[in-house]
Amino acid sequence: AQSVAQPEDQVNVAEGNPLTVKCTYSVSGNPYLFWYVQYPNRGLQFLLKYITGDNLVKGSYGFEAEFNKSQTSFHLKKPSALVSDSALYFCAVRDSRNNFNKFYFGSGTKLNVKP
Amino acid sequence: NAGVTQTPKFRILKIGQSMTLQCTQDMNHNYMYWYRQDPGMGLKLIYYSVGAGITDKGEVPNGYNVSRSTTEDFPLRLELAAPSQTSVYFCASSYSRGVARVTGELFFGEGSRLTVL
C-alpha cells in the first residue's frame, strides 16, 4: 500500500537558521514525490517535485529537497529560514506502479519560524 | 490565468439539505480531484476523475457524488448534509499521461468552507 509519513507535527526554528521538514514514503513502484505549502485559509501551493534524475531538487522560495531511495525519504530543506516561511507543509507521493491516478498526502507539518 | 476556481467560498447548511460545490479549471488538465481537510488534519480524497465521463471513488466517498461531463468542470454534490461533512473542501487538477508517465503536480483551488448545523 502507498503511504506518506511526516513524523513531526510541528517544527520550530529561529529565523536565519536552516530548517528541515521530514518525509518518508512507501510505494511499490518508483515514487513521484511532491512538497506543498499551505498558508492559513488558503489552498495548497506547489513547492517542488522529484520525478527522476538528480536527487537534489530545487523549488520555489529557496526550498530544496533531497530524494534518498535507500532511506525512502524526501526531506524538505532551506538553508536560512524566514518568518514568512511559517505555514503548514505537506509531502505527497504518487506510485508509478499501483494506483497511479492518486496522490497520497502526509498528515502535514506545521513550521514555526521565530524572529 | 484563473487556474482552479471553486465556488462558493463559504456555505452554511442545515442537516438534511443538499448542495453542489462547483469546481472549474482552465488549464486543460485531464485529472481532477476533490479532497476534504478537517481541522488540524491532512487531506482525504473523496472522488477523482481521469477525464471527461470517468470518475472513481477515493477514501471517503460516502455522502457525496460527482460528475465530469466536460474537461473543465468537476462538481461535487452533497446529498442529505450531516454535521460530519463540516469541513474545508479542495478541488485540484493535474496533467498526466500514462504512457510516458508524465506526471504533473496538483494545482489547488482556494477551498470551500462548509458548515453543517
* Structural domains of chain A, count: 1
Within-domain flag for A91: yes
**What are the distances in angstroms from CA A42 to CA A39, B41, B49, B58?**
5, 15, 23, 23
More confident residue, B98 or A93: A93
CATH code, domain carrying A46: 2.60.40.10
The residue behind cell 499501483 is A98
Residue B25 · residue B14 · CB < 8 Å: no
Within-domain flag for A114: no
Q: Kindly report the average pLDDT of chain A as a whole number.
A: 93
pLDDT digit string, tens, across residues A44-59: 999 999 988 899 999 9
pLDDT digit string, tens, across residues A23-37: 999 998 889 999 999
Domain extents for chain B? 4-116
How close does chain B come to A29, measured CA to CA in Å?
12
Domain that holds residue A31: 3-109
Residue A43 · residue A34 · CB < 8 Å: no
Q: What is the DSSP secondary structure assignment for residue A40, as one 8-state letter?
A: T
Task: Answer whether B109 sits within 8 Å of A32, measured CB to CB.
Answer: no
Within-domain flag for A82: yes
Residue A110 pairs in a beta bridge with A10, A88
Within-domain flag for A85: yes
Predicted pLDDT of residue A70? 95
A105 → closest Cβ in B4, B43, B109 = B43
SS3 of residue A60 by DSSP: helix
Whether omega for the bond prior to residue A18 falls within 30 degrees of 0, making it cis, is: no
How close does chain B come to A81, measured CA to CA in Å?
23
Q: Does B38 touch chain A (CB under 8 A)?
A: no
Give 10-residue mean pLDDT values along chain B (117 residues). Answer: 91 96 95 91 91 94 96 96 96 78 82 95
Domain B4-116 has CATH 2.60.120.40: no
Question: Which helix or strand (DSSP H or E) is residue B30 part of?
Answer: none
Within-domain flag for A115: no
Cell of B16: 438534511
B101 → closest Cβ in A36, A96, A107 = A96
Radius of gyration over every alpha carbon of chain B, rounded to an integer in angstroms: 14
